[in-house]
Amino acid sequence: MKYLIVGLGNIGEEYVDTRHNIGFKVVENIAAKFDVKFSPNILASTAEFRHKGKTIILIKPSTYMNLSGKAVRYYMEKEKIEKSNLFIVVDDLHIPYGTIRVRPNGSDAGHNGLKDITAILNTSEYPRVRVGIGSEFPKGRQVEFVLGKWNRSEKEKLQELVDLSSDVCISFCLAGLGHTMNTFNSKKIEL
């Protein structure tokens, strides 16, 4: 069984510690836990490992957030991965910091990465985990907020949030979507 875990984010030094790049942080964390390294590849940096009989492919699209769908489709086709074995890790400012929501499908909720994936796959029927980054920004400052760096209190809890989100991804591959939703949708990292 093969699984494709896609961490959404933007490439480039200026985006490294931004809220929008939580997806990259989560797949990097998984790679570190399983002692694999990312390598530059077509449309993405990729890492792969086997765990309990499953092949897990991690990707960080190098297309920038708004064109993430191109990389997702490429690796789904290349690796012959069904939509049910695709898992997207995405930041969400509509849910509080530290809250995660595992979903089998859903709207893009204004997220350009999800919007592009949905357009290219021609469906919103794919599993994802939305990682809450909160919405502590003044009206009209959304872009600055998501592309901004974590504040001090967020940073203190960030590794816990990344670890929790990483556990979600591995649970999805090993135990399935239903079990993962039941186990993790009630969990939250308190600020």
The sheet carrying 44-51 orders its strands as 39-41, 44-51, 54-61, 2-7, 86-92, 128-132, 100-103
Closest residue by Cα to residue 70 from 108, 117, 125: 117
Amino acid at 155: K
Strand-pair category, 86-92 with 2-7: parallel
179: annotated active-site residue: no
Active-site pick, 20, 51, 94, 111 = 20
> Would you please indicate which residues are annotated as catalytic (active-site) residues?
20
